[in-house]
Amino acid sequence: MIEKDRKLAQQIYLYLAALFITSLVVSNLIFQKFFYWYPFNGTLFGSQLFELSVGILPYPITFLITDLISEIYGKKKANQVVVAGIFSSFFSMGILLMADAVPALENSPIDDATFEKVFSFSPLAVLASMLAYLAAQFIDIKIYHFWKQLTQGRMLWLRNNFSTFTSQFLDTFLVVSLLSIFNILPWNLFWGLVLSGFLFKVIVALFDTPILYVLVAWFRKKFQLKINEEIRL
C-alpha cells in the first residue's frame, strides 16, 4: 500500500472511532427518555413490545462500526476502539457529576433542579450498562473473527449477523439482569424487557447488513484488498 493510501486509511479509521465513541457516549446521556414503536400490538411476559429507552437507538451503529473495523482493520484495532469508548463514557459521566455538584447562579437559564432532572442518572445503571456493553462488544469481535477465519473471509452476512445477534442478546440480558439485581427494574418485567429490547436490536441489525456490504466493497476497491485481507496501520 502506498503512503497516500495508508494515510487515508488512518484518517478513515479515526473518523470511524469518533463515530463509535460519540454514539456510545450519547446513548448514556439520553437513556432516561423512553419511546414506543408499535408496528404490531403485543406484549411479552407482561411488557409492551418496543417500549424502549432512546439510548438503544445509537447502539446498533456501534456494532456496525466494530464489525466494519474488524473486517477491514483487524481484531486489534476493533478492540482498541471499544476500550477508548468505555474510557470516554466514564470520563463523560465524571464531568456530568462534577457539573451537577456545582451550584447554579440565580439568573442561570438552567437551574439546578432542571439540570439534575435532565442529566441525573443512577451510577448503578451506568455501571451495569458499561459492564454489559464491554462484555458484549469484546464477544462480538471475538465471534466475528472466529467466523471470518472459519469461512476464510467469505459469507460476510453470516459473521455480521451471527456475531451481532449473539452480542446484542448478551448485552440486553446483562443490562436488565444487573438493573433488576440492584432493584432499579422490577423482576416481573425481566423477560419482557429482555426479549423486547433484543428483538428491536435484531430488526435494526438486519437492516445494517446491506450497509456493511456496501462499505466493505468500497474499502476493498479503494485500497485494492483481497478477500480476508486487512489494512495494517
| 24-83 per-position pLDDT tens digit | 888 878 877 878 877 767 677 766 777 777 888 887 888 889 989 999 999 899 999 999
List CB contacts of 28: < 8 A, sequence separation 6 or more. Answer: 55, 89, 92, 93, 121, 126, 129, 130
Arithmetic mean of pLDDT over the chain: 85
Band of the pLDDT at 121, cuts 50, 70, 90?
low
Give the whole-angstrom CA distance, residue 11 versus residue 63: 20
Listed by start position, the domains of the chain span: 3-222
Stretch 104-114: mean pLDDT, rounded? 89
Q: Quick check: 196 and 34 in contact, CB under 8 A?
A: no
What's this model's pTM, rounded to 2 decimal places?
0.85
User: For position 124, what pLDDT does the model report?
Assistant: 63
User: Does CATH number 3.30.70 belong to domain 3-222?
Assistant: no
